[in-house]
Amino acid sequence: MDEIELYKKTLARERQARQQAESLLETKARDIYEANQKLEAANAQLRRQQKEMVKTEKLVALGTLSAGVAHEINNPLAFIKSNIGTLERYFHFYQQHLPDNSGVQSVDINHARMEKLKFIAGDSEAIFKELKEGVDRVQTIVADLKSFARSKSKEFNMADANEAVLSAIRITNNKVKYHCEVKTDLADLPHIMCNLNELSQVFINLLVNAADAIKENGLITVRSYVEGEHIHFKVKDNGKGIPEKNLDKIFTPFYTSKEVGKGTGLGLSVSYGIIESLDGTVEVNSEIGKGTEFHISLPIERETPSQD
């Protein structure tokens, strides 16, 4: 075989090998493209499912808290109604003992009635103050609940994250107050880009979980502070604690140690997702018989999040 034939055969083998390599590369590239398309579709589906989980957990929280919120509203409404009845009786007393177009000085009334009128005048001032406080209380509760239930859950703004804590405490007050005391130590925080509605949902979940872990004489402390380039929140309770074997499971969707019907197992999972979406972290430490502490860290500065 001469050199030319050998060269031709070598060239043909190289051409065939190159074609096979190109074909294999094209196949792999197509496989990678298809896999990437599937991955993007899966990520999009996951984002949709996460949004649905947030909505589901919010509805569950609203259902759980609704009875307590109704009670919180009924309390001020009850004394508003009672005070209105008292004012009505006072008004009728004035009508009976102060004729039209007459002043107290010109009315011939005995000393006892005069003292009664003075008492009514003083008590009415206190009643008006209580009425205003009651109305303000109802307005605050309704505003907090409307904000929490707001459907536009992806609106991000520069805000004071402490407001999310205070809103959560107000919303959960009736569920917590009968067997727990909530103490706060909130530092002045720089505003961060966040969604207060979702952040409030995180603290609602933590407060409700803490209250559920305490039978009586409970104490829940919420502390905020700045350290480095992050703001921090620590929510601590003196409840029964979480077994070490369960600590790695508590952020898993649908995991719950509560009795059937007492929880969905979504609360902490949703909370973890919300904090993660803010480029933050959540850590938990717990000791049986002594209680549990959740530590949330959020960056002060971050890129504006996607609101899709």
Q: What are the tens digits of pLDDT across the range 133-142?
A: 777 767 666 6
Three-state SS for 301?
coil
Which are the contacts of 157, defined by CB distance < 8 A and separation ≥ 6? 193, 194, 195, 196
- Output the pLDDT for position 264: 47
Torsion of CA 133, 76, 146, 202, to 10 degrees: 90
- Output the pLDDT for position 261: 43
Residue count of the chain: 308
Contact 199, 272 (CB under 8 A): no
Domain count, the chain: 2
Which of 147, 176, 209 is where one domain is finished?
147
Residues 238 and 294 in one domain: yes
In a domain, 60, yes or no: no
Contact 100, 60 (CB under 8 A): no
Backbone angles phi, psi at 190, to 5 degrees: -65, 145
Which of 147, 180, 202 is where one domain is finished?
147
Residues 177 and 294 in one domain: yes
Beta strands in the chain (DSSP E): 157-159, 180-186, 192-194, 218-227, 230-237, 281-287, 291-299
Residues 256 and 166 in one domain: yes
Residue range(s) defining the domain that contains residue 269 = 156-299
Q: How confident is the model at residue 192 (pLDDT cuts 50, 70, 90)?
A: very high
- Output the pLDDT for position 145: 64
In a domain, 48, yes or no: no
Distance CA 141, CA 150 (A): 14
Backbone angles phi, psi at 216, to 5 degrees: -160, 165
How is residue 300 written in tokens? 């002060």
Q: What is the CATH number of the domain that holds 161?
A: 3.30.565.10
* Range 6-15 average pLDDT: 75
- Output the pLDDT for position 82: 73
Which of 97, 113, 147 is where one domain is finished?
147
In a domain, 4, yes or no: no
Q: What is the pLDDT of residues 246-295, one digit of tens each?
A: 777 777 765 565 554 445 456 677 788 889 889 999 999 998 888 999 99
Q: What is the pLDDT of residues 82-130, one digit of tens each?
A: 777 777 777 777 767 655 544 444 445 566 666 766 677 667 777 777 7
Residues 136 and 224 in one domain: no
Residues 135 and 193 in one domain: no
Residues 191 and 240 in one domain: yes
